[in-house]
Amino acid sequence: MADGLRVAVVGGGIGGLACANALLGRGVDVHVYEQAPELGEVGAGVFMSPNSRRLLERMGLGPALASVGARVGEGSCYYRADGTRVAPIMTTDSSGWNGVYGMHRADLLEVLATALPAERVHTGHRCVGFEQDADVARLFFADGQRVEAEVVVAADGIKSVLQQYVVPPSTPVDSGSVAYRGLIPAAELPWWKPEVSQLWMGEGKHFMAYPVRRGELINYVGFLPYEKAVEESWSAPGDPDELRAGFTGWAPEVTRLLEKVETTHWWGLYDREPLSRWTEGRLTLLGDAAHPMLPHLGQGANQSIEDGVALAVHLGRAAPADAPQALLAYEEQRRPRTSEVQLGARANGRRYDSQLDDLGERDSQIASSVSFRQWLYDHDAEAAAEAGEPAAAFRA
């Protein structure tokens, strides 16, 4: 029990709310400060994998997740653009536990928010400043309010306001691609294979789709090359005809799905180089503020949840005076793993976009990626933090 330790989490997204739930579960006095007037997520899917799902189920959120998630399992597959089968998509950990859900982001956020007492979440709080001394950290908000805490967790996303107080502002790395995303009612796709994730790979582009919200919706994402810089946005409107044109001649499943697209959104794909550190005194980074990554491993939200649970273990046994050391221990445990996942997501994107001269070699790499997925999915961030052990590096 962290007697007297006060924690302020800046950012009410998936990572921030998961962290708050984990901290409360360990008796830590935590409050979340979100700049938006109300909690909410954009209409997009998130691929929940075993490494995060097991952590949320331990918090008692299993029934809530099951009520809104869509199971993804056997039959999930990678294909070439023409529909030629390449390899199965892994949907279990190495024990065989099928821990994969397709989730609507808004549903996952609602599960996390509902589990928190209402008085712990403060919306309409846009952070504009930070300072600290040896004993306390202070947050300053646009409306003039000030909050003091022994620990501040920056869970404020890829455009983090607080990151600058830890490291110099990081430069966005443009992937050269944009992602079109959207949702289609499953009833409009009666021929669609249920409970599977499918991904088609072509030259410089790829397309994926999986179910969300109990299987009632199909979440799709089409990745296309784009020469101009595009804003890091999850809500910019896209052109459905442009999206369809990008996948002309692809497998029938892709083109038939795209015929049903009436509206779509797009965002530019950026990440950052892994940061040299996450922590300064009583301030630490979490989730996209610490390790923004491309979506090609489906690990952005999953790694944020891992962060939050690991951080809660370290802070749950820290007194206020010990908090800076606990934050450094959290960083030491988490940063090597997330750096490896960041770089792995880049490499996987190159495979999906067929950026290898020999497609046979690409297909072989996709098939053999099961060992990397096992490394991802088998990890137990809570157990590792309890043991005080850094996550094991991936060994091919």
Mean pLDDT within 298-306 = 97
Instruction: Indicate whether 235 pLDDT > 80.
Output: no
**Separation between Cα atoms, residue 300 and residue 196, nearest integer Å:** 20
| pTM greater than 0.85 | yes
The predicted structure's pLDDT at residue 170: 79
**Residue 175: strand, helix, or coil:** strand
The predicted structure's pLDDT at residue 215: 96
Q: How many Cβ atoms from other residues are within 10 Å of residue 396's Cβ?
A: 7
The predicted structure's pLDDT at residue 223: 95
Mean pLDDT within 131-144 = 97
In this prediction, residue 289 has a pLDDT band, given cuts at 50, 70 and 90, of very high
Tokens describing residue 89? 């998509």
**pLDDT higher for 228 or 197?**
197
Mean pLDDT within 245-254 = 97
Taking the alpha carbons at both ends of the chain, their separation in whole angstroms is 39
Mean pLDDT within 130-157 = 97
The predicted structure's pLDDT at residue 11: 97
The predicted structure's pLDDT at residue 229: 59
Mean pLDDT check: name the lowest of 79-83, 88-92, 357-361. Answer: 357-361
**Residue 63: strand, helix, or coil:** helix
Mean pLDDT within 258-273 = 91
Instruction: Indicate whether 33 pLDDT > 90.
Output: yes
Instruction: Indicate whether 148 pLDDT > 70.
Output: yes
Instruction: Indicate whether 368 pLDDT > 90.
Output: no
Mean pLDDT within 250-262 = 97
Mean pLDDT within 291-299 = 94
**Edge-to-edge order in the sheet of strand 217-225:** 85-88, 77-80, 198-202, 205-212, 217-225, 173-185, 264-271, 236-238
In this prediction, residue 2 has a pLDDT band, given cuts at 50, 70 and 90, of very low
**Separation between Cα atoms, residue 342 and residue 196, nearest integer Å:** 25
Tokens describing residue 302? 């999953």
In this prediction, residue 120 has a pLDDT band, given cuts at 50, 70 and 90, of very high
The predicted structure's pLDDT at residue 1: 37
The predicted structure's pLDDT at residue 224: 94
Mean pLDDT within 312-340 = 96
Q: What is the set of domains in the chain, with CATH numbers?
A: 6-70+103-171+273-355+369-387 (3.50.50.60)
Instruction: Indicate whether 96 pLDDT > 60.
Output: yes
Mean pLDDT within 337-341 = 96
**Separation between Cα atoms, residue 380 and residue 394, nearest integer Å:** 14
The predicted structure's pLDDT at residue 6: 97
* Residue corresponding to tokens 């789709």: 209
Helical (H) or strand (E) element with 131: strand 127-132
Tokens describing residue 180? 């079109």
The predicted structure's pLDDT at residue 395: 72
Span 304-320, pLDDT tens digits = 999 999 999 999 999 99
In this prediction, residue 230 has a pLDDT band, given cuts at 50, 70 and 90, of low
Instruction: Indicate whether 357 pLDDT > 90.
Output: no
**Edge-to-edge order in the sheet of strand 29-33:** 121-122, 29-33, 6-10, 151-154, 283-285, 279-280
- What are the residue numbers of the active site? 210
The predicted structure's pLDDT at residue 396: 61
Helical (H) or strand (E) element with 271: strand 264-271
In this prediction, residue 5 has a pLDDT band, given cuts at 50, 70 and 90, of very high
The predicted structure's pLDDT at residue 296: 94
Q: Which of 207, 204, 206 is nearest to 176 (CA)?
A: 204
Q: Which of 91, 12, 26 is nearest to 55 (CA)?
A: 26
Tell me what percent of the residues of the chain surpass a pLDDT of 70: 96
Return mean pLDDT, the chain: 93
